[in-house]
Structure 1
Amino acid sequence: MKNYWSFFMTLLVVFSACDSKIVDKKRSTNNIIIPNEEVFQTVSLLGDSLFTKIDSTSQSMQIKNLQEAEKQYLEDPTLENLIWIGRREAYLSRYDLAIRTFTKAINEFPEAFEPLRHRGHRYVSIRKFDEAIRDFQNAADLMAGTPIQIEQDGMPNKLNIPLSNVQFNVWYHLGLAHYLKGEWDEAREAYKNCMEVSVNDDLKIATLDWYYMTLVKLGRTDDAQELLVKVNSKMDIIENDAYFKRLLMYKGEFQPEKLLNVDSEASDQKLQYVTQGYGLGNYYLSKGDTSMAQSIFQNVINTGYWSAFGYIASEMELAKLKDE
């Protein structure tokens, strides 16, 4: 208990007297989450500084959830409760705090693979791919031979049914980290392993999409086309509709020009726009239409949704095109 307070008190932020009464009602009890304060997080692959700014109105429920997670940990300092603090911090895009919390969990529970999975994920968010890869590889070693462990959702889907598992998330994000570094062979191996723990259609679709793109990057187009045999319109998709449409596009069953028929300005559709945008841009890139691909990647960047995987991948592609 004492360690918990010393951990967070080292990060104590001093508030101005005139604002303290207002902010105290809305900030996290660890005195770190300050609404409307812009906090630096990382530098993009294009050299832009990226910041987080929490809105006390639109994100009030997420702040409340974080406060509740902190309360639960104080009452019962388990690994699971500590991880939930980090997850809630990450949902507020305070990846700096989330990584620190997961590091605390890793230090206190060195045999656990779960906090490594979560810290690795957030290292990807801030473009620290080497650190992410180390965490995921360590997690893979620790979880070898363990039964599938369903991971509870912090932001539930429309049916409130948890679909992912920890093993899937380790291999999936390991593949992503290698992909974003342009390490296609390593990404392919990770996605091959990920397919083995993709235990429902949503997970299969998410894995197949990145697996397909990885094989295309490697020039293994026949193998990529063979993967698409696993995709059909009758699959039961709850969450990953954007990935599903991308795969149907690769099969020729969905028109490319229809892929971006979403409102990039609407908060509930922005992630779908970014996800589909990267897939469409990469599709044109694979066809040799660099100009169209570059335009779409730039439109993804213009959304400002910099934590999304499609956004980071678009950064990667634009940075590579710039260097050519």
Structure 2
Amino acid sequence: MKRICIFLLAGALVACKENNPKQAAAEAAEVYSLLGLEYYAPTEPNARLDSNLAIAQKNFEADPSEENYIWLGRRLAYKVKYNQAIEVFTNGIEQYPNSYKLYRHRGHRYLSQRKFDAAIEDFEKAAERMPAAPIEIEPDGVPNKINQPLSSTQFNVWYHLGLAHYLKGEFDKAEQAYLKCMEVSDNDDLITATVDWLYMTYRRQGKTEEATKLLEKITPDMTIVENDSYYKRLKLYQGVLPVDSVLNVNSTNSDVDLALATQGYGVGNWYLYNGDTAQAISVFERVVGGKHFSAFGFIAAEADLARLR
């Protein structure tokens, strides 16, 4: 298994262990990619992430509540401590076996680790346990630019369940999950995210008519706070944006690597839908050559490359 060197980006990316074999040998990788690479948590301090984790740890020690299990696991995951985060969520589930929120968050980190079957099992358990209503707004671990959470627990369970099936190539099951997700997509950002993945799911099944009809939900007057890259992918599929403008990510973007993974995956799909598999593979390879290995576009590019190569 090869190791890849990744530079630290805002505390969210892995550090290279190639120059420290003893350290690499002593630590388990946080992610084993679908292409045979290992990713490790960064060792460099990050003041914001370290402070947030310390607060979560203190709160948990004072009160090991369901909510404090969730936040301790989430703060560990933001530092790419996926193994520890999953352990915390697992311990939490032992204490709170009906917690659909703990299953939702553990499933997310199984996705980060490319453990799709385990993720699906967790999201299905979350779906069985969570109420259909009322919609529960989920607090953001990393606030958006308007400092207002936009997604709900219900949305995140169906969205990530659909993604897990998509990444496995189970497009019929992904479709069913995304249709459920559409029912709880109640703002422009959530509509954009769900339409994007459902559109790709339809295209992978050869349901071109359904995919084209779905794009009618995407309009020029939408207010997008978080999912600008998904919005651009959809405008590419609509023929509104040229392919080069979507692939060429602005270097001034606050998270250029995330944008490359997200928009790049859309471009690769566009080439794939238009019969240019070689160019699709080239774009997917560019995506996985980036730094944001936890982005869903990055993971999806890995999955497609593993199938196409």
TM-score by length of 1: 0.85
Q: Counterpart in 1 of 2:77?
A: 90
Question: In the superposition, relative to structure 1, how do residues 264 and 187 fare at CA in structure 2: closer, same or farther (>3 Å)?
Answer: farther
Does structure 1 residue 110 correspond to structure 2 residue 130? Answer: no
Q: 2:37 aligns with which of 16, 38, 48?
A: 48
Query: SS of the residue aligned with 2:136?
Result: coil
Q: Counterpart in 2 of 1:19?
A: none
Q: Counterpart in 2 of 1:73?
A: 60
User: Is the contact made by 1:54 and 1:92 (CA closer than 8 Å) also made in structure 2?
Assistant: no
User: Is the contact made by 1:265 and 1:303 (CA closer than 8 Å) also made in structure 2?
Assistant: no
1:44-193 alignment runs, 5 A limit:
44-56=33-45, 59-193=46-180
Does structure 1 residue 194 correspond to structure 2 residue 181? Answer: yes
CA deviation profile, 1:133-183 (whole Å, cap 9, x unmatched): 000001000014341110000100011010010000000000000000000
**Percent identity for Structure 1 against Structure 2:** 51
Amino acid aligned to 2:43: I
Question: In the superposition, relative to structure 1, how do residues 220 and 111 fare at CA in structure 2: closer, same or farther (>3 Å)?
Answer: same
Amino acid aligned to 1:234: D
Amino acid aligned to 1:69: A
Query: SS of the residue aligned with 1:122?
Result: helix
Query: SS of the residue aligned with 2:40?
Result: strand
Deviation, 1:315, is: 0.6
Does structure 1 residue 298 correspond to structure 2 residue 280? Answer: no
Rounded to whole Å, the distance in 1 between the matches of 2:34 and 2:254 is 24
TM-score by length of 2: 0.89
Does structure 1 residue 228 correspond to structure 2 residue 215? Answer: yes
Q: Counterpart in 2 of 1:321?
A: 308
User: Is the contact made by 2:262 and 2:295 (CA closer than 8 Å) also made in structure 1?
Assistant: yes
Amino acid aligned to 1:61: R
Amino acid aligned to 1:281: G
Rounded to whole Å, the distance in 1 between the matches of 2:132 and 2:252 is 44
Question: In the superposition, relative to structure 1, how do residues 268 and 290 fare at CA in structure 2: closer, same or farther (>3 Å)?
Answer: same
Q: Counterpart in 2 of 1:311?
A: 298
Rounded to whole Å, the distance in 1 between the matches of 2:36 and 2:165 is 20
Rounded to whole Å, the distance in 1 between the matches of 2:255 and 2:270 is 24
Question: In the superposition, relative to structure 1, how do residues 305 and 265 fare at CA in structure 2: closer, same or farther (>3 Å)?
Answer: farther
Amino acid aligned to 1:48: L
User: Is the contact made by 2:257 and 2:291 (CA closer than 8 Å) also made in structure 1?
Assistant: no
Query: SS of the residue aligned with 2:31?
Result: strand
Does structure 1 residue 279 correspond to structure 2 residue 282? Answer: no
- RMSD after superposition: 1.6
Moved over 6 A (4+): 264-267
Deviation, 1:261, is: 2.6
Structure 2 residue runs without a partner (length 5+): 1-19
Q: Counterpart in 2 of 1:259?
A: 246
Rounded to whole Å, the distance in 2 between the matches of 1:198 and 1:313 is 22
User: Is the contact made by 2:49 and 2:75 (CA closer than 8 Å) also made in structure 1?
Assistant: yes
